[in-house]
Amino acid sequence: MQNTPTILQLDHISKSFGVVHALKDVTFSVKQGEIHALLGENGAGKSTLIKILSGEHSPDSGTVSVAGEQIKSFHPSVSRSFGISVVHQELSIFENLTVYENIFPFQKNHSVFIPKKELIKKTEESMSRLNLHISPTAKMSDLRLSIQQMVEILRALSENAKIVLLDEPTSGLNSQETSILMKVLKQLRNDGITIIYISHRISEIIEICDRVSVLRDGSYITTFENDENLSESKLVSSMVGRDFEKSIYSKKVSVIEEDAPVVFEANDFTKGTVVVDASLKLREGEILGVFGLEGSGTYELSRMLFGLHGKDSGSLKFYDKEIKKITPANMIKNGILYLNNNRKDAGLFFNMPIADNLAAPVLDRLTKNGLLSKRLIQDYTLSFVAQFSIVLNSIYDTPMSLSGGNQQKTMLSICLGPHPKMLIVNEPTRGIDVGAKQEILNFLNMFVSKGISILCFSSELPELITLSDRIAVMNTGRITGVIECDEINEQNVMQLAAMNINAK
Amino acid sequence: MQSESGIDPMNEKTNNKLRNKRHLGDNTIIGLLLVIFLFLTFTTDTFFKYENLYSIAYGVSIQFFAVIGFTFLIIMGEIDLSVGSMYGLSGTLVGFCMTVWKWSLLPSMIAVLFVCSLFGYLVGYLITKFKLNSMMVTLGTLSLVAGINAVVFNSFPAVIYNQEYRSLAKFKIAGIHWTIIAMFVIVIVLGFLFKYSTAIKKVYYIGNNPETAHLYGIKSDAIKKFAFTLSALTAALGGIIATSRITHSDVLTGNGLEFVLITGLVVGGASLAGGRGGIVKSLLGMLFIAILSTGMTTFRIEPFAQQVMLGVVLIVTVYIDSNINAKRLKG
């Protein structure tokens, strides 16, 4: 690749938001027709860089050139005209329209009527080039996430994109869908399209990328060639600036006695065919992991256990007492809190001060004579800011101003406030960087050592293997087995999770 | 975003920094009020006179009752479009009790307030139990209640109500109508509670993100039912006093009040998306609308043209409101 021309050149790009230097003097280049990975912790400046390339932000200083031509004004339409297209993590599709309408949404034509037949034909052509088989007239909302993403990539190509940015493209995909995406990306590279690939998943990056550029704290660190010298640990250590001897994940050694008392017992939880006869037993001071592939019902089960999701049947026992009313308020009263899986939907009050966020479940404790005590709320909040080393400017800022890792730590603080005896955590490290992940895992282990029992739902198997004393595996709505600590390994878990169980 | 000079939360100096508020809040309404107040003072002879200002205050003080419950709902992102028709119905019902059944004022009022509150509770029950859109449900009850009002109104002879009923709005303490005094007392007490009361804080949580509030054990449904009940109760109370003031029932009493309230509250800084607003802001917004109306009348702007103007004000404020919301979401 030595002689391939440079298609994208960034020179001394800096960008600040108030006191935050999101990008500091970033200089690097992308060659034509390569898959170039962009790697960095949350807050490293990746998203800002994407927004500059897509034209949503303009840099404070520095220049961006595409094929030698400098971009003078930054606007999405300008970026598009330079052939830059972004496929965001949250897809921007028209759910109620069909595939071909999504691929050619802004087709300029001079006739009054949309040339439907022509567009369908064009859609089919572009698909066959990539070996895809999607009906051009299918409705988007009927398609799976992975297919919708393909459609969005095809749209980028229909706009004659030369450079396609993919932001965390595999975050919602299973392994089979991921491998299809990888094939498509390789095909695009062969067609001369340049791909900038942003992902947390280092193994994917090593699998597919030609080169990897690393950002840390807004600065450009280095670019690696993807050759035999590149290893996962090398990438991780350049990202976090520390040398990880090995990955943050290591197999847990359980210290929970087999006959430790059961504190939480869920019996026969059922909701249609989504969750069927699911029963779980959580022992005192243990972390029970619950694993399942997408669509296995783990998400629904976790919500049913906290009264966030309707159920047909099922009963709960907590410290030998039946919990009759399964509602969040009553669960909290009993000493159980729930860490939501997606903080964007629920879990934080994004327009309220961080202090108010923390106070939410413990208002009564921060009240004097029926009135909220500002002083108590401040002290309460600051104690958690210290305990979890939450990085913030002011406790009266909103969580919007925090990085993903700090938002997650804020959410964890909220859940820890009411002194829970048990936590139900759902995807505790979703969308945060490696450093923060490690911190969260440490916190969870610390909670357990303080006597809090944890039911941990996660789709990241290495994380569960690191955390769990036992792992319960779900498969198409049923719990197909509980693996004891000694027998936990990826092979055993995957077998229970992916094995074909007969539908009837 | 992390920076190298990350803040050490253990350090006392930074702790003080962490405590600093960075935003003063949205006080546009005070500026708006000042501008219109000064404008009318200098351009007209009639505006800045005790009688005129007093009559504005008196008018607002009666409508203000209806604002109380409404404010709670707006903050939670809900709405009660039936405030206006409830305002009309309650006055007629009291008149009916007193004229047809010959009840005296107090039992009539208690009975009517109870019935209206019960109605509000049912509305809240329907909305929370079946997760219905409050705008649509209360658009329905707006029509329903207005219909009941017309039926009751036509069932007994149109009369000027008796001395007892008429005296309700006229009652004065130290030469000032009691409603004005009540308004100030309520605004001070509730204004304080809106800022510091634990119970009312929950209203803001719900308005900000109902799912998150639910997740952390805040019983949104119960609080919403309470707010719908309160909205009907306070609207009914305002309506009884308004009817007492005009001395007879009229099917048009309260007509369009929901429009005035929405405009006033949004001008005052509440958001239809929920999460913002407060009783003091509501009052300031209502004052703004009242002064604007008075000003337009002084300038001999026709009532229909005034209506056009109010429509423009609502659209402009909704525009500003959604702009603010867009900015907040961007962060």
In three-state form (DSSP H/G/I as H, E/B as E, the rest C), the secondary structure along chain B is: CCCCCCCCCCCHHHHHHHHCCCCCCCCHHHHHHHHHHHHHHHHCCCCCCHHHHHHHHHHHHHHHHHHHHHHHHHHCCCCCCCHHHHHHHHHHHHHHHHHCCCCCHHHHHHHHHHHHHHHHHHHHHHHHHCCCCHHHHHHHHHHHHHHHHHHHHHHCCCCCCCHHHHHHHHCEECCEEHHHHHHHHHHHHHHHHHHHEHHHHHHHHHHHCHHHHHHCCCCHHHHHHHHHHHHHHHHHHHHHHHHHHHCCCCCCCCCCHHHHHHHHHHHHCCCCCCCCCCHHHHHHHHHHHHHHHHHHHHCCCCHHHHHHHHHHHHHHHHHHHHHHHHHHHHC
Is pLDDT above 50 for B3?
no
pLDDT digits (tens, 9 = 90+) for B247-284: 998 888 999 899 999 999 988 888 888 888 999 999 99
**Facing A372 at nearest CB: one of B7, B196, B331:** B196
Cβ separation of B1 and A352 shorter than 8 Å?
no
Average pLDDT, chain A: 86
Mean pLDDT computed over A114-142: 86
Task: Name which of A434, A50, A463, A438 is nearest A239 in CA terms.
Answer: A434
Contact assignment for B18 to A332 by CB distance below 8 Å: no
% of chain A beyond a pLDDT of 90: 44
Are residues A360 and B213, on separate chains, in Cβ contact within 8 Å? yes
Min Cα separation B208/chain A (Å): 6
* Minimal C-alpha gap between B22 and chain A (Å): 7
Residue B46 has pLDDT above 80, yes or no: yes
User: Per-residue pLDDT for B16 more than 60?
Assistant: no
Tell whether A375 is within 8 A of chain B (Cβ).
Answer: no
* A335 interface with B at CB cutoff 8 Å: no
Pick the CATH number of A6-240 from 3.30.565.10, 3.40.50.1820, 3.40.718.10, 3.40.50.300: 3.40.50.300
A90 touching B (Cβ < 8 Å): no
Express each pLDDT in A330-375 by its tens digit.
999 999 999 998 888 899 999 899 999 999 999 989 988 888 988 9
Q: Distance from A393 to chain B by nearest Cα, in Å?
A: 6
Q: Which chain A residues are closer than 8 Å to B213 by Cβ?
A: 349, 360
DSSP A207-218: HH-SEEEEEETT
Residues of B with Cβ-Cβ distance to A41 under 8 angstroms: 2
Cβ A351–B208 below 8 Å, yes or no?
yes
CA distance A455 to chain B (A): 17
* pLDDT for the residue A430: 79
pLDDT digits (tens, 9 = 90+) for A61-70: 999 999 999 9
pLDDT band at A172 (very low <50, low <70, confident <90, very high): low
Q: Which fold has domain A262-498?
A: Rossmann fold (3.40.50)
Which chain B positions have a beta carbon within 8 Å of A346's beta carbon? Answer: 209, 211-212, 214-215
Q: Where along chain A do the CATH 3.40.50.300 domains lie?
A: 6-240, 262-498
Rounded Cα–Cα distance for residues A29 and A45 (Å): 16
The pLDDT confidence band at residue A171, using thresholds 50, 70 and 90, is low
Nearest-Cα distance to chain B for A152, in Å, is 24
ipTM given for this complex: 0.84
Tell me the mean pLDDT in the region A412-421: 93
Q: For residue A115, is pLDDT > 90?
A: no
Which pLDDT belongs to residue A16?
A: 87
Summarised one tens digit per residue, pLDDT across range A144-160 is 888 888 898 888 888 88
Chain A residues close to B207, C-beta within 8 Å: none
Q: Which residues of B touch A425 (CB under 8 A)?
A: none
Q: Cβ–Cβ of A391/B202 closer than 8 Å?
A: no
Q: Has residue B232 got a pLDDT over 90?
A: yes
Question: What's the mean pLDDT in A422-432?
Answer: 88
What are B284-301's pLDDT values in tens digits?
Answer: 999 999 999 999 998 999
